[in-house]
């Protein structure tokens, strides 16, 4: 169930904790000690699901869109269950997007304190000056605070545009685009190619695959 659906079930008196009906959706409950039931049936923990998706450009990262635009959730495999995207990629950004029902795992990946690397390949307009690449790495002020140190590697460059690989350890809203725009470079294309140890290798646009145990473990063990 979604959080809203679960709350409605509690308010309707369908949920009991240790055999006692509760009408308080905010009641503290420990699933390791307490027995929670709905309509008299004990609940079991949902099977943990971890998926990597190669999101195509043009898809938005919301479950439903009132404008009827395609969403990344439409591309999830049948029977995947109730999953949440870990962070977001805007509609014009393609590449790696993780989905899970494990809230601890999602919080670890999205932790603003850093630790889990996110790698992007961007094509930016204009001739990239070396001093601006260094400014990107040292930090750019966004919303009154300076971004964490980053890495920038120039893959191709000419007078009209540059193709760069950038590595961040935080995930502010539209961060890569906003950092380059703050330095005077419009982002023409953007793709996320890696999150921690998880890459796009072998994953076609619009397809998903499960994360393996190594990938999950490395993400959880990466330093803050």
- Structural domains of the chain, ranges and CATH numbers in brackets: 3-42 (no CATH), 50-112+197-221 (3.30.70.580), 118-195 (3.30.70.1560)
pTM: 0.82
Indicate whether 6 pLDDT > 60.
yes
pLDDT tens-digit series, residues 122-160: 999 999 999 999 999 999 999 999 999 999 999 999 999
Contact of 189 with 119, CB cutoff 8 Å: no
Which residue in the list 24, 34, 74, 90 is annotated as catalytic?
90
Annotated active-site residue 65? The verdict is no
Contact of 208 with 51, CB cutoff 8 Å: yes
Count of alpha carbons within 13 angstroms of residue 48, beta-carbon side: 10
Cα 124 from chain centre:
23
What dihedral do alpha carbons 122, 124, 128, 132 form, nearest 10°? Answer: -70
- Residues in CB range of 23: below 8 A, 6 or more apart: 10, 11, 13
């Amino acid at each position: 169930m979604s959080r809203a659906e679960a709350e409605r079930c509690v308010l309707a008196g369908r949920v009991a904790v240790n055999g006692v009906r509760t009408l308080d959706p905010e009641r503290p409950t420990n699933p390791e000690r307490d027995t929670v039931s709905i309509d008299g049936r004990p609940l079991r923990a949902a099977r943990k699901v971890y998926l990597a998706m190669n999101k195509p450009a043009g898809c938005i990262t919301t479950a439903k869109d009132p404008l009827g635009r395609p969403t990344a959730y439409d591309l999830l495999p049948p029977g995947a269950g109730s999953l949440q995207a870990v962070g977001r990629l805007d509609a014009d950004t393609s590449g790696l997007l993780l989905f899970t029902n494990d809230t601890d795992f999602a919080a670890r990946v999205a932790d603003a304190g850093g630790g889990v690397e996110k790698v992007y390949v961007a094509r930016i307009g204009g001739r990239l000056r070396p001093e601006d690449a260094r400014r990107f790495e040292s930090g750019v002020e966004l919303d009154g605070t300076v971004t964490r140190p980053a890495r920038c590697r120039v893959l191709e460059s000419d007078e009209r545009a540059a193709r760069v690989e950038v590595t961040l350890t935080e995930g502010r809203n539209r961060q890569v685009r906003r950092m380059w725009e703050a330095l005077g470079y419009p982002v023409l294309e953007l793709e996320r190619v890696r999150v921690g140890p998880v890459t796009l290798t072998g994953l076609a646009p619009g397809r998903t695959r499960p994360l393996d145990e190594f990938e999950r473990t490395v993400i959880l063990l990466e330093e803050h």
